[in-house]
Amino acid sequence: MRSREEVEATLHIAKLNPAELLPPVHCLSFSPRASAGECCLLQLEPGLCAALEAGHSLVIRGEKDEQAVLCSKDKTYDMKIADTSNMLLFIPGCKTPEQLLADQASCNIIHAQIAGFSNNYWELRKCRPKLKKLKKLLMENPYEGPDSEREKALSDSKYTMEDLLDRIQASEEEILHQLQVINACKIEGYWRVLEFDYEMKLLNHVTQLIDSESWSFSKVPLSICLQELGPLEPEEMIQHILLSYGMKYTDEDEVYFEMNADKICTATAQMLLQNAVKFNLAEFQEVWQQSVPEGLTTRLDQLKGLALLDRYSRPETIFLLKVEELPEDNQERFNRLFTIREKWTEADIAPYIQDLCAEKQTVAALLTKYARSSMQNGVKVYNSRRPIS
């Protein structure tokens, strides 16, 4: 235990002016049980600190073969160890200068024990949620309808929200948003995606009813859909397909859906393209327009992120290339794209890398980092910065 005289003697040796320091002095000693590695330090941004203080949880997610991430209720963060040249000390009950100024009754000598120490801490950096695995898990057992043989058989490949939170490296809000994006629905407590043929069957029921009743695609009444299609399919499936391909609204206490023409055209295109390696573009456009419901108009911009056009082949062709099936890692994504095509225009590649952009990052900035630009016939094109095997 140091005395005041010993403290002043130490200050004199260190050539420090006591008048420039606060009167209270912390005298530190190591606890017999103090050791490195017992505790981990985590550096938090103010928003995460406030969430913890409000009683919310932060969860570290990741399986053994995955880089751990930390998730709040609505955000995901990469975790990286940051080394520091200064030793960081864990001192329970240590008071800050502000606390000492506020507590005038503090004694001049404060003895405190060091409970642990570290030369590094966990640093957080906001990142994209790792959601590619979500669709993969749900596609293990897609829903084919209540009467399918597969549905009647017992299967373990069904996931509740708790199951998904255990397996997906993303926050709960990000997972819920992605479930909506991939048109998943909750069936008997489990999150499921519809098998594509069954989804198209449901959509065809709705579009054929719209045609037979001469309804506008902007005003499809829910009650009559349920009444007419109820004997064919479960009501919850009819509502789900209306929500997936339309927007719900109320008019004079009646529930209606405004159907999304682009989504219907895109789904029809996928149905046509999924069984062909390549399709003659002109023939495809003709068949596509004939296949969509009357009154809808197909456009090539509806295929962004779903199909790729080859304008340089003769005849011009189109083939299925879904952005959701490309790698999640930035470098792996670019490697795959440059394997498919050596040189890309920004317009062609943008739909396949847009989802890789971080906050406030543009497609152009991403291309600058991962690709090299050149001019080809007066058009700027991009190719890989590294050799592609």
Give the domain ranges of the chain. Answer: 4-58+67-126, 131-193, 196-259, 275-384
User: Which of 154, 158, 153 minimizes the C-alpha distance to 141?
Assistant: 158
Q: What is the pTM of this model?
A: 0.84
Helices 346-353 and 330-340, axial angle in degrees (round to 10): 140
| 305, pLDDT greater than 90 | yes
Q: Residue 165: what pLDDT?
A: 95
Q: Would the pLDDT of 106 be above 60?
A: no
* Mean pLDDT value of segment 213-239: 95
Helices (H), the chain: 4-13, 46-53, 97-102, 132-138, 149-152, 161-167, 172-181, 196-213, 222-229, 235-245, 261-273, 281-291, 330-340, 346-353, 363-370
Q: Which amino acid is at 29?
A: S
Residue 142, phi then psi, degrees to nearest 5? -65, 150
Looking at residues 205-220, what average pLDDT do you find?
95
The pLDDT score that the predictor gives to residue 99 is 80
How is residue 290 written in tokens? 């004939």
Q: Tell me, what's the pLDDT at 152?
A: 61
Tell me the CATH number for domain 196-259.
1.10.10
Distance CA 182, CA 260 (A): 15
Strands annotated E in 104-159: 109-126
Give the integer Cα–Cα distance in Å for 224 and 116: 69
CA distances from 182 to 137, 144, 195, 237, 238 (A): 12, 16, 12, 15, 17
User: What is the share, in percent, of the chain residues with pLDDT greater than 70?
Assistant: 95
Residue pair 141/185 in contact by the 8 Å Cβ criterion: no
Three-class SS of residue 372?
A: strand
Percent pLDDT > 90 in the chain is: 69
What gap in Å lies between CA 334 and CA 336, rounded to an integer? Answer: 5
At a CB cut-off of 8 Å and minimum separation 6, what does 171 contact? 71, 72, 73, 74, 75, 76, 129
Q: Given this model, what pLDDT does residue 151 score?
A: 65
The yes-or-no verdict on residue 85 having pLDDT over 90 is: no
Look up residue 186 and give its two tokens: 């909750």
Neighbours of 129 (CB within 10 A): 22
Fill in the amino acid letter for 96.
Answer: T
The contacts of residue 25 (CB under 8 Å, 6+ apart) are 4, 7, 108, 109, 110
Q: Which amino acid is at 313?
A: S
Instruction: Please give the average per-residue pLDDT across 78-99, as a whole number.
Output: 86
Distance CA 216, CA 243 (A): 17
Q: How confident is the model at residue 104 (pLDDT cuts 50, 70, 90)?
A: low
Is the backbone peptide bond immediately before 231 cis, with ω within 30 degrees of 0? no
**How does residue 26 score in pLDDT terms, banded at 50, 70 and 90?**
confident
The string of pLDDT tens digits covering residues 252-294 is 999 999 999 999 999 999 999 998 889 999 999 999 999 999 9
Q: What is the mean pLDDT of residues 100-104?
A: 71
